[in-house]
């Protein structure tokens, strides 16, 4: 069991990469707190894990609200006594998030609020809890678009993920000698309901797929398995990284045939 005895919070834990990670974390011995704005879906994931004899609980939380994020961490400490892993995974992509000249201000604010402020708040309240317990691992979901430009314009999303990457590096440096590691997990295009909605347009789908050297979308489980590594003691010398799981996108100089 690679995460035996650890307590982990996963935001956005009710679906996609988050739910897959909750399953992997619990399967590796962690008590997983499935945190999501949709409390009912979060409870279904937690109930599924408990039915398998694994350790899980669910909390409804809006990652953009500081009082709720503070309450999430305080509740975990009250119930479990510690926090070892904080996976700030909650995020959104909006269909009206397009070129910077065409993205409305309200869409920009919404995307930044969830994708970047949500990570900031998760770190803000997880770090003191981890320091009190002697350390921990923070994993923040960024994206390959924090490293390279997106094939399809998505200015607010790209900016938010670039911010996550920069924030993660700063946290990693600041807290490295105090027992806290922080890494940005950077997925490529993953076969989730979120991306399926974006790929309803066949032209947009073709533009995305042609840039993936391995020739397919990633699976949520593949990102979850990378998160297990970053959460575990196996990655004890890994901090401040942009941990790419992208099918080779960032490494490609030319579009493959």
Which residues participate in catalysis according to the annotation? 157
Q: Could you give the CA distance from residue 147 to residue 242 in angstroms, rounded to a whole number?
A: 8
- Cβ burial of 251 (10 Å; 0-12, 13-18, 19+) is exposed
Sheet of strand 85-88, all strands in order from the earlier edge strand to the far edge: 56-60, 31-36, 7-11, 85-88, 136-141, 180-187, 242-245
Task: Please give the torsion angle defined by the CA atoms of residues 38, 41, 46 and 49, in that order, rounded to the nearest 10 degrees.
Answer: -150
- Cβ burial of 245 (10 Å; 0-12, 13-18, 19+) is middle
Answer whether 113's CB lies under 8 Å from 160's CB: no
């Amino acid at each position: 069991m690679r995460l035996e005895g650890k307590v982990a919070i996963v935001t956005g834990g009710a679906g996609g990469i988050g739910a897959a990670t909750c399953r992997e974390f619990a399967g590796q011995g962690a008590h997983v707190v499935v945190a999501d704005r949709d409390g009912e879906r979060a409870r279904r994931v937690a109930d599924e894990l408990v039915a398998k004899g694994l350790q899980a609980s669910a909390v409804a939380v809006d990652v953009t609200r500081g009082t709720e994020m503070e309450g999430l961490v305080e509740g975990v400490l009250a119930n479990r006594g510690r926090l070892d892993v904080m996976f700030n995974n909650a995020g959104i992509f909006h269909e009206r998030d397009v070129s910077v000249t065409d993205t409305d201000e309200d869409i920009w604010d919404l995307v930044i609020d969830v994708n970047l402020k949500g990570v900031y708040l998760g770190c803000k309240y997880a770090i003191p809890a981890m320091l009190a317990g002697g350390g921990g691992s923070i994993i923040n979901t960024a994206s390959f678009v924090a490293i390279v430009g997106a094939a399809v314009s998505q200015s607010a999303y790209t900016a938010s993920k670039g911010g996550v990457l920069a924030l993660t590096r700063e946290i990693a440096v600041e807290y490295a000698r105090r027992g806290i590691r922080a890494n940005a997990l950077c997925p490529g295009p993953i076969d989730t309901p979120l991306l399926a909605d974006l790929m309803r347009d066949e032209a947009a789908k073709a533009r995305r797929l042609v840039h993936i050297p391995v020739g397919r979308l990633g699976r949520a489980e593949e990102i979850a398995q990378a998160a297990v590594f970053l959460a575990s003691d196996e990655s004890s010398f890994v901090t401040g990284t942009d941990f790419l799981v992208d099918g080779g996108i960032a490494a490609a100089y030319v579009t493959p045939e």
